[in-house]
Amino acid sequence: MSRSIQGIPASPGIVIGKAYVLRWPSMQIAHATVPTRDVGAEAGRFTEACQVARERTRALREEVAARVGSVQAKIFDPQLLMLDDPELIDATLTYIRDSSLTAERAFYLRVLEFRSQWLDATHARVMDRLADLTDIEARVLSALTDLPIPDVRVDLPEHPVILLAKDLTPSRTVELEPGRVLGIATEAGTRTSHSSILARTLGMPAVVGLGDFVNTIEAGTELVLDGHRGRVVVEPSDAEKASFHDRDLHVRQIERELTELRAVEPVTRDGVRIELLANLEFPEEAKVAAAAGADGVGLFRTEFLVVGLSAVPDEEEQYQAFKTVVQAFKPHPVVIRTYDLGGDKYPMFMPPLIEDNPFLGWRGIRIYDKMPQLFRNQVKAVLRSAALGQVRMLLPMVSSVEEIEGVRRLIAEVRGELIAEGVDHEECPLGVMLETPAAVAIVEILSRHVDFFSLGTNDLAQYVLAVDRGNAQLSRFYDGYHPALIRFIRDAVSGAQIAGCPLSACGEQASDVVGAALMIGLGVRSLSCTPGAIPEIKKLIRSVEVGYLERAAADLFSAETGKEVRRRWLKSLEDTVELAGVGTAPSLSGPD
């Protein structure tokens, strides 16, 4: 009998295949000492092993840069930093010298202490740091002992498989070959983890955050992995396999048909043009988005420049990244969102912030006061890129006018510096994300201080519903159709319209046909979605009438539950829109 396990969608796609369970060999090192006279030699042996580990890490970084890209290769920089960290390396040498421990036993104990400290911190960046530490531990211990480093490329069976693991380190992920690994399912992980980012870059479907399940699956068990919905079906029935197979074929057919829509305008049947923009996570995606027919970039996330890295990026590095995107879309607009750090996104160079709830702590615009140089460098790079095209600057997690005023003062200072330096730059429009209940409540007040709004439905849902959207165990409470949420969206849109301030929706709902239709029905006339969703959303736009969607959306406000809102909305769309992959993410589908 089949069973379904819900996790977090990390990389889209649907695959059916046999399970292969990746199990790490035990890294337990028995207690052992060396004679006092050999302590110096043992310390030297450890130093040599660390150098071997550095060389292996650098080689892997170069391999990833050549195979995937230089930006993605930077995720190995924190590992190199760890191998020079005095708290890890020098402390291990101290254990060797003071306790006459063998190099492998001393390092093993120090790694255990690191793990204990990080897990006790309960911090959002712990998962990536633990994965990096696991990679480093394996390389150092392998150089010191005969413990093998698991090599997925060698150990995998000849036939394609769905890989199951408790977690995947970055180096294990980049070893995966799409032809041999159909998809990835892990117990731990988040959508923003290094391994998830690499899976999306490799085009490999992935579901993470599935909880304790690996030990319940035997190798060779048939699975369906749905990277759109974040679901794994164990031992699916023939009917279930046929359903997933048909849906996958249908989506692929729709994708082929949608390529013909790239050059046509996103105009509804009753003549309303909907601006269709792209969300970008990396500069390399700009060409794909432009080829898909995007009107511009509605959200260029810049966290790729810092997350997981060990040094503050300089102004020039950021400018070159922005320049790539601006030139790819010229003369169309490019909205660059300044760093949205905190929550589940932390660079290694940020000062430690011990918080019970990081999503309600130092996050987004609040970080800028703690790290002013980080923000100044970015503002300079944005203003310089504005001299190349139609650039707009977007601020995350704003909840007050004072925050905007502070940023405007800093922008004025930075402009003065650029003028003094004789550097080409331009002023650019300033906007804020509407993603906190506070910002939505004072949208008309905020409109007097900004030039545009971006509606962030992902975080808005999280804060309105008080649900961590990255927690798979709470996925049934994270409901994109909750009556409270659609009221907040309506208020944000109407408030911006009254103030005459442009608004674009850039959350996950704008990338899903059902959610995008709802945004239009609630008054949104500019959508920003993932590059791959642009053709499908354009087809949606050309198949609907705004008047009909508005009338159908007005009927939703009498519904008492998210389930009823969704049922009514899907019913209203049945005869109007061809729905491929309806509700492709738990955040949109809500509780069944």
Q: Which residues are catalytic?
A: 194, 506
Sign of CA dihedral 15, 516, 300, 267: positive
Structure tokens at 28: 């337990």
Cβ-based neighbours of 439, under 8 Å, separated by 6 or more: 398, 399, 432, 433, 446
Question: How far is the C-alpha of 82 from the C-alpha of 111, rounded, in Å?
Answer: 11
Alpha carbon distance, N-terminus to C-terminus of the chain: 21
Structure tokens at 65: 């840069």
Helix (H) or strand (E) run with residue 6 in it: strand 3-6
DSSP-derived 3-state class of residue 249: helix
- Yes or no: say if 398 and 446 are a contact pair by the CB < 8 Å rule: yes
Q: Which of 375, 505, 379 is nearest to 440 (CA)?
A: 505
- Yes or no: say if 519 and 510 are a contact pair by the CB < 8 Å rule: yes
DSSP-derived 3-state class of residue 277: strand
Taking each continuous run of H as one helix and of E as one strand, the counts in the chain are 24, 16
DSSP string, 424-449: ------EEEEE-SHHHHHTHHHHTTT
Which 8-state DSSP code applies to residue 345? Answer: B
Question: How far is the C-alpha of 85 from the C-alpha of 348, rounded, in Å?
Answer: 12
- Say how many residues make up the chain: 592
Peptide bond connecting 331 to the previous residue in cis, omega within 30 degrees of 0: yes
DSSP-derived 3-state class of residue 300: strand
The residues pairing with 232 across neighbouring beta strands, listed in sequence order, are: 5, 225
Which 8-state DSSP code applies to residue 101? Answer: B
Beta strand 275-280 with 297-300 is parallel
- Yes or no: say if 572 and 555 are a contact pair by the CB < 8 Å rule: yes
Structure tokens at 138: 């394996």
Structure tokens at 206: 């992935």
Query: Where does residue 337 fall: left (phi above 0), alpha (psi -120 to 50 degrees), or beta otherwise?
Result: beta
- The CA–CA distances, whole Å, from 17 to 163, 167, 235, 288 equal 10, 19, 10, 29
The residues pairing with 489 across neighbouring beta strands, listed in sequence order, are: none
The three-point CA angle 195-198-201 to 5° equals: 155
